[in-house]
Amino acid sequence: MNAWIIAIVTVIVAPFIGGFLAGIDRRITARLQGRFGPPILQPFYDFFKLLGKSKIAASRLQLMWIYAYLVLMITALLFLVLRLDILLMMFILGFAGVCFALGGFSSKSPYSHLGANRELMQMLAYEPVLLLLALGVYAQNGSFLISQIYASPTPLISRLWPIFIALLVILTIKLRKSPFDLATSHHAHQELIKGIMTEYSGPYYALIELTEWYEIVLLLGIVSLFVANPLWVGIVIALAAYLLELFVDNVTARMTVGWMVRFVWAVGITLCILNLIWFWVFAAIKGVS
Amino acid sequence: MLPYNWMMAVAILLPVVAAVLVYIIRQYHARGVIVILAAIALIVNSILFLLHGKDTFSPANAQMWDMVVTVLDYLILLFYIYVGISLKNWLVLIFALTQIIPLAWFEFGMGGRAALANVSPTFVVDHLAIVMCLVISIVGSLICVFAIRYMYDHEHHLHLEKSRASRFLFWMVLFLGAMNGLVFANNLIYLYFFWEVTTLICFQLIAHDLTKEAIDNAARALWMNSIGGTALIIAMVILFAKGAPLSLDGILSGGVASAVLLLPVALLCFTGMIKAAQLPFQSWLLGAMVAPTPVSALLHSSTMVKAGVYLVLRLAPAYAGTRLSIMIALVGAFTFMAASGLAISQTTGKRVLAYSTIANLGLIIACAGINTPLAITAAILLIIFHAVSKGLLFLCAGTIEHIIWSREIEDMEGLAAKAPLVTVIFAIGVLSMFLPPFGMLLGKWMALESASTIPLAAWLFVIASAATIVFWAKWLGRFLQVLPKLGAKIESLSLSYTVPLWLLVLGIFGVGIGVASVYTGLVQNAVADVVTSGQALAVQGWGLTVNGYSAVSSTANFAVGNYPVWPLFIVFAIAVLIPFIFVAIKPGELRPVYLCGEQAGGTDTDEWYSTADVKTKVQLGGYYFQGVLGEAALNPWTYTLSIVLMVIMFAVALLAMGGAL
Amino acid sequence: MGIIATSRLKSPWIMHFDNSSCNGCDIEVLACLTPLYDIERFGIVNMGNPKHTDVLVVTGPVNRRTARVLKNLYDQIADPKMVIAVGTCSISGGVFHNCYNVLGGVDKVIPVDVYIPGCAARPEAIIDGVVMALQKLAKLQGVAL
């Protein structure tokens, strides 16, 4: 019964946290650019305004994928708060991304087609790191269950800090921040309009915003796992990581897709694998002695 | 219930009889009825095997059957020699000779024949074999039913003057019998015989259209699989020379094979890997794509390649804990990664499917190499799920080919509007290949959770998983690119197409939702036939729980992983099925896509005004990365690395043998 | 409806379309986005895509070639939508009004809610015009701005 209450509370509360964080994002970004910026509640105004717009769409198919994107993102978040299998959570997160990309493909729009292809390239870049993160959790805890991360006395970051750095790189892609805001764009309309989101409007666009709020909470939740005991330290680290992403967003320029894949594979995957090799060697040494 | 010898006869000989009848009767409807009746008989029979449970069988007139097998063996090999000479294909000739000469020498020169005749029982039907038999009989039969109408349309399209469909169906139905024989065979010479029959049928089916490309590719399949046959004979010779039993249960009886016997085990696995088209032997399976699509469906899902992984899996206890096991895992994992990467660059739908098959077979072989109870469970589950999903995808590919008369992915743009029914079925097939809650992902998840003993394999899995997402999603995406229109007309298809398709869709959901029952009723026993130690997976409430088995978690008492099956299916229903059915849109709500305001007209066109107001069609193209991930760019690397891995695999076995001597 | 009506006033996303302007007004529109004027204070974001737009900001006179494009873009905007004509040319054709290819002001093609005169219109005037459009919307919805 307890699990049901946690699940329901998460589903209700998470978008408020996510929307609030998005508002802080816009405010801080504005300050970094020497502007005053919108009110903190601006994302909520945008959301409700979008809900009130009339429905228009470019095909029926694209709408179903957006519901799937939302539902799967919530499911992945529930896996986190109910402390289930982290590897499976990554696969569900992957499914959510696939649905979003398929939604982008579901109309004959050159801009959303381009965005969807880039979304897949982004998945090619970040998916291995997320899965390797799960393997790292197993290497340290001997279990893929998130509940074991909370039960373990040693925080993940003490031995998985290279994977943590890789996760920060991934976070930039997942939060759609520069230099990796390639599939959709907040500022570069000239190049790809709104990329994968170009053909969504009104309430359907609001659903994407809602999903992104859930995603922010989920991603910061994954970051907070690295110091799960005590949890408040993890949350502080997650918020610090979020601020770092905002800073990176504002001081870097957009890069190309090929550069992103090469960079993430060269830095992210290498860091993860070095981390795991270290575990392996460590276990081998312990086994010998 | 049928007597056991009748069940064996139905499994192996009934397809032969049905095949001959199909060949003789050239009337379309009568032929179809025979295929359908044979399919029903095989399916019922396979379920009888399941109910009967584990058993062994030796035919009553052993001498007569031995004679039949021997004669047919040599006839097949002589036919290969004939093929080699008549096609002037020296590789076929050489590898036919490398089989027939050692075989004759072994059987009649060394006295292997007497040893082979003494092997008892001839057939061992354990639970792993029953799983294979179910896969072959159910999925394979459905594909044969699909082929009835497919060949009619195929020949109609080619404007053939004289129908060759009888010949085609003859080999298709015969294939099922040969595969049943192969998975039941315990005596190595019977195994070899059925192995050669599948190679022969494969050759005949690939060459069916008799174009130059078809014959060339068929010859390639023949000589590559002949290398496997040669390895099998050499394995027999070594086993005989070392005084070991010439049967599978004999090899497996003593648990891990002694160091001396590791080489024949490696050779047998090598045979399996060639049949499973592992790198660097993938080209025969890719070439097999020229054949009519039911052939591809049969080769990829339930027969031929599955024989390869079956043999590797069957031998798992013999190499458990050895370095050979690690090498087998690495060969499989490398194939999984390389084939997934190469699949991204493929522009032909069937070649994507082929690379995906090679990749998944690599995953299964890697699981066999990882060789923990969990990995073996994953491998067997993957065999089942892959057969159903890939069978469905190939049948979809065939149906699509008969709607648009093309195999190119770029030509499939907007099929969701032209052929909504096939698109839905294809989408289910694609989603079931790599996403939760379906079985293939469950298998991959278990493989990753079990791969901690061989970290390198796990890293290759991870990279392969990412590539898998890309090539499936971008292909499915091409189907969905439609104009903003409502009310697509559902295409009308022959029942011979739709019944197998829907049954396989039902199968995907059936084995997916009921995976707990499939596991406890079927796979659990099959795993116990391969590895004796430990229960890796427990059915707990509405999910599956991975028990701690590794060194890390044996100290603490907690689960390694948890897979909630039913909740995930409910999520899938809420996320995909319910929106698919209920999301409604009014015609007035449709708008053309954003083309900078230059679209020429409303929702009924995809044209826009280009320079000087010329109406131009919007053209979209997928990403293929031929320069980075294309065969020309990657093959030098993949061939080199995979050959190195194979060489190390044999070196490990030889070193073990040398050390023992 | 209360929260949605309020939100509409607080989140007008604009799209800027240049018919055949001399680019004077365009530069002034872009100036509104700079830190000096910072129209994001009012929740205004330049979206560059009709499907995400609430307010269409048009500069320059309509000519025979852009009339079709302007109409197409307007049709792709979801309701409720506002149109602001920025600069003298977009109101009447301005200095171009007798050219052989010029049709005249924006209201020849699509309905216009707010006209902002000026050659070029000052950023302050443009911001004032957007606020005026919001007031009009508020009046229509019967809520206070």
Q: What is the pLDDT of residue B601?
A: 77
The Cβ of residue C55 has, within 10 Å, a number of other Cβ atoms equal to 23
A38 in Cβ contact with C43 (< 8 Å): yes
Comparing B533 with B596, the larger pLDDT belongs to: B596
CA nearest A236: which of A173, A163, A155?
A155
Q: What percentage of chain B has pLDDT greater than the value 70?
A: 97
Q: What is the pLDDT of residue C45?
A: 87
pLDDT tops 50 at residue B551: no
Instruction: Nearest chain A residue to B453 by CA: give it.
Output: A280
C141 interfaces chain A, CB cutoff of 8 Å: no
Are A198 and C7 inside 8 Å of each other by CB? no
Sign of torsion, CA B233 B237 B239 B243?
A: positive
Task: Identify the band that residue B334 occupies on the pLDDT scale cut at 50, 70 and 90.
Answer: very high
Are A142 and B548 inside 8 Å of each other by CB? yes
Task: Identify the band that residue A237 occupies on the pLDDT scale cut at 50, 70 and 90.
Answer: very high
Residue B599 lies in a domain: no
Q: What percentage of chain B has pLDDT greater than the value 90?
A: 17
B276 phi, psi to nearest 5 deg:
-85, 10
Amino acid at the residue B381:
L
Q: Which residues, 6 or more positions from B644, have their beta carbon under 8 angstroms from its beta carbon? A: none
- What average pLDDT is seen over chain B? 85
pLDDT in tens, chain C (145 residues): 588 888 888 888 889 999 888 899 999 988 988 888 888 888 888 888 898 898 999 999 999 888 989 999 998 898 888 999 999 999 988 888 888 989 888 988 999 999 999 888 999 999 889 888 888 888 887 766 6
Q: What is the pLDDT of residue B114?
A: 78
Determine the Cα–Cα distance for residues B386 and B396; give it in Å rounded to an integer. Answer: 15
pLDDT in tens, B454-473: 888 888 999 999 999 999 99
- Write the DSSP symbol of residue C95: G
Residue B464 lies in a domain: yes
- Are β-strands B561-564 and B55-57 bridged in parallel, bridged antiparallel, or unpaired? unpaired
pTM recorded for the entire structure: 0.92
Determine the Cα–Cα distance for residues C118 and C87; give it in Å rounded to an integer. Answer: 5
Determine the Cα–Cα distance for residues B86 and B206; give it in Å rounded to an integer. Answer: 17
CA nearest A54: which of A205, A267, A232?
A205
Q: What is the pLDDT of residue B553?
A: 43
pLDDT in tens, B231-277: 999 988 888 888 778 888 888 876 666 777 888 889 999 999 999 88
CA nearest B593: which of C18, C70, C72?
C72
Determine the Cα–Cα distance for residues B554 and B510; give it in Å rounded to an integer. Answer: 34
Determine the Cα–Cα distance for residues B235 and A103; give it in Å rounded to an integer. Answer: 53
- For A102, the token pair is 């398929």
Query: Which of B436, B458, B477 is facing A101, going by the closest CB pair?
Result: B477
The string of DSSP letters for B216-235 reads HHHHHHHHHHHHHHHHHHHH
- Write the DSSP symbol of residue B547: P
Residue B470 lies in a domain: yes
Q: What percentage of chain A has pLDDT greater than the value 90?
A: 51
C106 in Cβ contact with C85 (< 8 Å): yes
- For A143, the token pair is 């279990």
3-state helix, strand, coil in chain B (%, to 5): 75, 5, 20
For residue B326, the enclosing domain spans 320-583+621-661
Instruction: Nearest chain C residue to A51 by CA: give it.
Output: C4
Q: What is the pLDDT of residue B558?
A: 65
The Cβ of residue B495 has, within 10 Å, a number of other Cβ atoms equal to 11
Are C69 and B592 inside 8 Å of each other by CB? no
Instruction: Nearest chain A residue to B427 by CA: give it.
Output: A102
Q: How far is B602 from chain C (nearest CA, A)?
A: 9
Are B470 and A72 inside 8 Å of each other by CB? no
Region at B487 (left for phi over 0; alpha for psi -120 to 50; beta for the rest): left
Q: Which residues, 6 or more positions from A285, have their beta carbon under 8 angstroms from its beta carbon? A: none
Instruction: Nearest chain A residue to B606 by CA: give it.
Output: A108
Q: What is the pLDDT of residue B660?
A: 65
Which has the minimum average pLDDT: A71-80, A276-285, B12-21? A276-285
Determine the Cα–Cα distance for residues A287 and A284; give it in Å rounded to an integer. Answer: 5
Domains of chain C: 14-141 (3.40.50.12280)
Task: Identify the band that residue A211 occupies on the pLDDT scale cut at 50, 70 and 90.
Answer: very high
Q: What percentage of chain A has pLDDT greater than the value 70?
A: 97
Distances, alpha carbon B17 to alpha carbons A47, B39, B190, B353, in Å: 68, 13, 19, 32
Q: Which of A53, A138, A288 to mutate: most B Cβ within 10 Å?
A: A138
Q: How far is B332 from chain A (nearest CA, A)?
A: 18
| Sole residue written with tokens 């497919």 | B150
pLDDT tops 90 at residue A14: yes
| Burial class of B110 by CB neighbour count within 10 A (0 to 12, 13 to 18, 19+) | middle
Q: Which of C3, C6, C7, C57 to mutate: most A Cβ within 10 Å?
A: C7
| Burial class of B444 by CB neighbour count within 10 A (0 to 12, 13 to 18, 19+) | buried
Helix/strand/coil (H/E/C) assignment for every residue in chain A? CHHHHHHHHHHHHHHHHHHHHHHHHHHHHHHHCCCCCCCCCHHHHHHHHHHCCCCCECCHHHHHHHHHHHHHHHHHHHHHHCCCEHHHHHHHHHHHHHHHHHHHHCCCCHHHHHHHHHHHHHHHHHHHHHHHHHHHHHHHHCCCEHHHHHHCCCCCHHHHHHHHHHHHHHHHHHCCCCCCCCCCCCCCHHHHCCHHHCCCCHHHHHHHHHHHHHHHHHHHHHHHHHHCCCHHHHHHHHHHHHHHHHHHHHHCCCCCHHHHHHHHHHHHHHHHHHHHHHHHHHHHHHHHC
* R_g of chain C computed on alpha carbons: 15
Residue B211 lies in a domain: no
The Cβ of residue B294 has, within 10 Å, a number of other Cβ atoms equal to 26
Q: Tell me which residues of chain C, numbers 16 to 35, contact chain A at a CB-CB cutoff of 8 Å.
A: 35
Q: How far is A241 from chain C (nearest CA, A)?
A: 25
The complex's ipTM works out to 0.91
Residue B343 lies in a domain: yes
Q: What is the pLDDT of residue A15?
A: 94
Residues of C in contact with B596 (CB under 8 A): 69
Q: What is the pLDDT of residue A153?
A: 83
Residues of A in contact with C35 (CB under 8 A): 33-35
Which has the minimum average pLDDT: A170-174, A284-288, B119-123? A284-288
A74 in Cβ contact with A11 (< 8 Å): yes
Taking the CA atoms of residue B142, residue B148, residue B150 and residue B154 in that order, the dihedral angle to the nearest 10 degrees is 150
Determine the Cα–Cα distance for residues A157 and A163; give it in Å rounded to an integer. Answer: 8
| Sole residue written with tokens 């994968």 | A196
Average pLDDT over residues B484-512: 84
Q: What's the domain count of chain B?
A: 1
Domain ranges in chain A?
A: 2-288
pLDDT in tens, B17-53: 988 888 888 888 888 888 899 999 999 988 888 888 8
Query: Which of B591, B592, B597 is facing C69, going by the closest CB pair?
Result: B597
- Write the DSSP symbol of residue B261: G
Length of chain B: 661
Please report the beta strands in B20-179, taking only residues with DSSP state E, as ranges in sequence order. 55-57, 123-125
Q: What is the pLDDT of residue B552?
A: 43
Residues of A in contact with C7 (CB under 8 A): 44-49, 52
CA nearest A209: which of A32, A37, A69, A115?
A69
Amino acid at the residue B555:
T
Residues of C in contact with B591 (CB under 8 A): 51, 75-76
Helix/strand/coil (H/E/C) assignment for every residue in B25-50? CCCHHHHHHHHHHHHHHHHHHHHHHH
Q: What is the pLDDT of residue B100?
A: 86
**Cis, bond preceding B294 (omega within 30 deg of 0):** no
Are C48 and A46 inside 8 Å of each other by CB? no
Residue B496 lies in a domain: yes
Average pLDDT over residues B512-534: 80
Residue B292 lies in a domain: no
pLDDT tops 80 at residue B147: yes
| Burial class of B532 by CB neighbour count within 10 A (0 to 12, 13 to 18, 19+) | exposed
Determine the Cα–Cα distance for residues B622 and A73; give it in Å rounded to an integer. Answer: 26
Which has the minimum average pLDDT: A203-207, B178-182, B320-324? B320-324
Task: Identify the band that residue A214 occupies on the pLDDT scale cut at 50, 70 and 90.
Answer: very high
Are B482 and A276 inside 8 Å of each other by CB? no
pLDDT in tens, B96-107: 888 888 888 888
Q: What is the pLDDT of residue B556?
A: 47
